[in-house]
Amino acid sequence: MTALNDDLPDDILIMRDLLNEVADLYLNLHSIEIVRTQETSKFDADRDALLVNISRSTLADELEHATSIYLFESAHELKALSILLDRNQIAGSMEVISRAVIERCGRVSWLLDHNEDVTPAVRSARIALEIAVSWQHYRQIIQSFYPGSHDAVKVANARFREMRSQIEVTFQEIEKEQIIGSDGELTSSPEIKSWVLGGVAYPEYTQLATWAWYGASEDSKRAKATYSMLCAFSHPNIAASREHQFMSEGNVTFRYEIPYINRVISNSVAAFDKAFQSFTSYFDRNFDSVYNVLNSVHDRWPLLEDIDETT
């Protein structure tokens, strides 16, 4: 994409506007009337199993909070993409933000998976792993910033240990990865992301790409390939970066074909669409209204196939 800010192609302008429309739909969700579409929502059906204390809240609270926040952050990332498109400043940033959307939406779709095999116990294990792994990583960050005697470290350690103890009491079937300790003996890994709670394992980021678009039952080869591509452009990788560079009069210019932009942006919207629909239907909000708007966005999205013709 080489157009000036005041002369953007029509397809780019359409994507920009639709990104805002999709994001605003979630950010304005509080103004959508909550309607009971069935006698018992999926959340209500799971609630008893989720009313388990985990640190200073319950798994039910954590499930609603985590999925709400991940969608909130994703909505703002979609808005950031719309601003980059509007200002013709996507180089070095578009894939980074798209990847962030897909990672968050993959988490939401994993946590709120509607598959019949996802029992209340399975969902409890998933949200327990999500919160525990998040806290473990956060504690490691705090420990790297402050000395062990600092109050922030003490608080983070205490909350994490409390949560880990509650998980070990709540979930009787826990498989812990065996590693070789500093003494040369086999010992259980302290990394909770390697634990399996009642048969439930914590997904890696490449697996989240499958969750973001398809769910666990689909072939994930294409999803993983797409996610790997986004990672290549997110990390410092001069070989990948050169795919968008060409020399003009001795200067390096970045060039993005509109169909390529479409693929990256539409993948982000598709992930958000799936996660958003899972959220509204799981918590029994006005699913029909959300579904109709998202379908309308899909119908108006530019269809661009040939990556060589349009620049």
Q: How confident is the model at residue 246, as a pLDDT?
A: 83
pLDDT tens digits for range 7-54 = 788 999 999 999 999 999 899 876 555 565 556 788 988 988 899 888
Instruction: Establish how many alpha carbons lie within 13 A of residue 94's alpha carbon, considering only the half-sphere containing its beta carbon.
Output: 26
Q: How confident is the model at residue 310, as a pLDDT?
A: 41
Collect all residues with Cβ–Cβ distance below 8 Å to 106 and sequence separation of at least 6. Answer: 203, 205, 207, 208, 209, 210, 211, 212, 271, 275
Q: How confident is the model at residue 224, as a pLDDT?
A: 86
Whole-angstrom CA distances from 265 to 117, 236, 268, 277 are 32, 21, 5, 18
229, 263 contact by CB (below 8 A) = no
Whole-angstrom CA distances from 59 to 123, 131, 249 are 9, 9, 60
What gap in Å lies between CA 104 and CA 75, rounded to an integer? 10
Q: Which residues of the chain have pLDDT under 70?
A: 1-6, 30-39, 181-182, 217-219, 304-311
Q: How confident is the model at residue 94, as a pLDDT?
A: 96
What gap in Å lies between CA 161 and CA 48, rounded to an integer? 24
- What letter represents residue 7's amino acid? D
Structure tokens at 7: 């002369």
Name the maximum alpha-carbon separation found in the chain: 68
